[in-house]
Amino acid sequence: MSQDRFHSLYTHGFARVAVCVPKLKLADPRHNARETLSLLRAAHEQRAVVALFTELGLAGYTCDDLFHQRVLLDDCEAALAQLLRDSEDLPILGVVGLPLRVDDRLFNCAVVFQRGRLLGVVPKTYLPNYGEFYEARQFNAGFNAVSDEVTLAGQTVPFGSELIFQAEDQPLLKLHVEICEDGWVPIPPSTYAALAGATVLLNLSASNITIGKASYRHELVGLHSARCLAAYLYSAAGPGESSNDMAWDGHGLVYENGTLLAETERFAQDHQLIYADLDLERLLHERMRMTTFGQTAGRHRDALAGWRIVSYRAELPTEERLPLRRYVPRMPYVPANPAQRDERCREVFNIQVQALVQRLRAAGITKLVIGVSGGLDSTHALLVCARAVDLMGLPRSNILGYTMPGFATSSRTLDQALRLMAAIGCSSQQIDIRPSCLQMLKDLGHPAGNGEPVYDVTFENVQAGERTSHLFRLANLHGGIVIGTGDLSELALGWCTYGVGDHMSHYGVNASVPKTLMQYLVRWVAETGQVGEAGSQVLLDILNTEISPELVPGGAEGQQPAQSTESAVGPYELQDFNLFHLLRYGYDPSKIAFLAHHAWATGDDAKYTLAEICKHLQTFLRRFFPNQFKRTCVPNSPKVGSGGSLSPRGDWRAPSDASSAAWLAELERNVPQA
């Protein structure tokens, strides 16, 4: 694949759309058509493939009884014909509003066109006739139409509300159009459109502004896009509409599955144009994943039988380098906004604590056994344990904390483990596992049992297994349960010793918490003063310690641990990024690389090159698939977020003997530097 093609958003299932709020002249269709054409060209220059305009935009919504004047109606059709001629060179699909005479009735319509060719006409289904609205005075409801075709500007095209406009060169781009009130009724036409396959829902609106209405629009559009698992574009009338009895704020919105992507500046005095890059592949994945979406479509198959598909070519600019105009968070598990991040930490912490309390109460257990290494994961697990016993009215001495130094334990982490347990106020004991490890190594006939410096995987796993063995037998002795400390990132990468190592526990509180979020959880506890001044200081010290299994000797006493986990498995911030997009959305590796490049390799704070991104993504793929056997039998643990869990009883079920070859080949084939 060429560099330009890889760096085009259209290669990776995205589509750029535009919402236009023109500055109108009331009852002047020719001026409004020129304004429409200008905005349409501007949207095309930014390589958008869809441009949405406002309700009755060629005339102006507030013409009232002028809509029954033939001069205005003829001028609207003439202005549309001129707009079609003037846009013959534009591949962008436009959606504009105007009044149209069909079957001797007047309809409030949206016209869909491209390159001077009409694709279809959609009448407004529901007419408001309450409050300040009197549309039934001038217009007929769409369901009163007799014809299913209309001839306009010399072209005969489909007419009706049950139309889906589908791009032949991007089958995921399926558009449905509704008009203003249609989106406010209990069952909008776009609900059925989504069930019929539409992924992008368009609403031409007038929508005058009153107190609180803008917030309600957000709620309405956002929730509707989430419920329909679709994108929703909304364009409300702005400058130029009559202020006889109403005011207009020109509110344009783009939502995707409940997430706001773009919004106009309200009350602007000139026209506005906003863009958003929609992830069509994400929408498809959500619909496949949420099986009840398909069940709903099946339940209403009779209502969907009459829907018609109108095909066209979007002429996607896939050979141009087009970076995303979309925020892609570097750390998808961690909100960038500090207030949201604090709330996320509080929520995750409470989920973990509640789950542990339930497990202890259900089992009638009052003692918790935990290995404390002085590292990140066991630190957070200990914090969860402390809060759990507090809620149960138990003394913190019921937490039996053990630090078990081995051949590579640094004085730094040992000191941190002891200081942490003292700050928490749990029971604290130190067990040197080196004698029992040496005995096992001798029994195995391993050279290290005789003092030889052979530091292979057996040498490492003997220590991991010995620690876990001690913890389980201590739990037997004291009538407690072993609290697992391993996290989601380690499970994804297989960075845990299987069965008799840190892979196993009676209950794993951290198993669906990724490493990047774990760091913020610990920092949140420190910064909110939940463990006192001494406790906060040791938490900050732990956060500044190299992430390491500490199983291979080396390095100066008291310095950072000799081993670096991230030098073996790659940076956790990148691997968590890869995990999220593979697990949550099922993206191809090339799309993950494209997103990672956008997030991590652009801007003044760029951190990784595309080559580095691909290298670590290859590491992730090579480790993720063959380590499924470890995830197939993980201990019970609470799911904490929508980003996913790897428990076979939760989000992820997969064969342990699947090959990663296809994923690696896709990356190699479609990323220039892979």
The residues annotated with a catalytic role in the active site are 55, 124, 180
Phi, psi of 123 (to 5 degrees): -85, 155
Instruction: Measure the CA–CA gap between 139 and 73, rounded to whole angstroms.
Output: 13
Cα–Cα–Cα angle for 633, 638, 644, rounded to 5 degrees: 80
Amino acid at 413: T
Helix axes 70-86, 29-45, angle to 10 degrees: 30
Q: Nearest CA to 373 among 398, 401, 352, 396? A: 401
Q: With b meaning 16 or more CB within 10 Å and e meaning fewer, what string describes 438-450?
A: bebbeeeebebbe
Residue 344 Cα distances to 96, 402, 527, 642, 653, angstroms: 42, 30, 15, 12, 26
Instruction: Measure the CA–CA gap between 309 and 468, rounded to whole angstroms.
Output: 61
Non-local (6+) Cβ contacts of 643 within 8 A are 332, 333, 514, 580, 583, 584
CB atoms within 10 A of CB 381: 27
Non-local (6+) Cβ contacts of 307 within 8 A are 162, 163, 164, 192, 193, 196
Q: What is the DSSP letter of 322?
A: B
What are the start-end ranges of the E strands in 298-422? 308-312, 368-371, 399-403
Helix axes 515-527, 338-363, angle to 10 degrees: 100
Question: Strand pairing partners for 399?
Answer: 368
- End-to-end Cα distance, the chain: 11
Instruction: Measure the CA–CA gap between 100 and 106, rounded to whole angstroms.
Output: 6
Token pair 């090159």 in the structure block, residue: 609
Tokens describing residue 511: 């198993």
- Relative to beta strand 368-371, strand 399-403 is parallel
Instruction: Measure the CA–CA gap between 536 and 524, rounded to whole angstroms.
Output: 10
What are the start-end ranges of the E strands in 169-266? 170-179, 200-204, 231-235, 252-256, 259-263
Query: Which uninterrupted H or E stretch holds 583?
Result: helix 572-585
Total residues belonging to the chain: 674
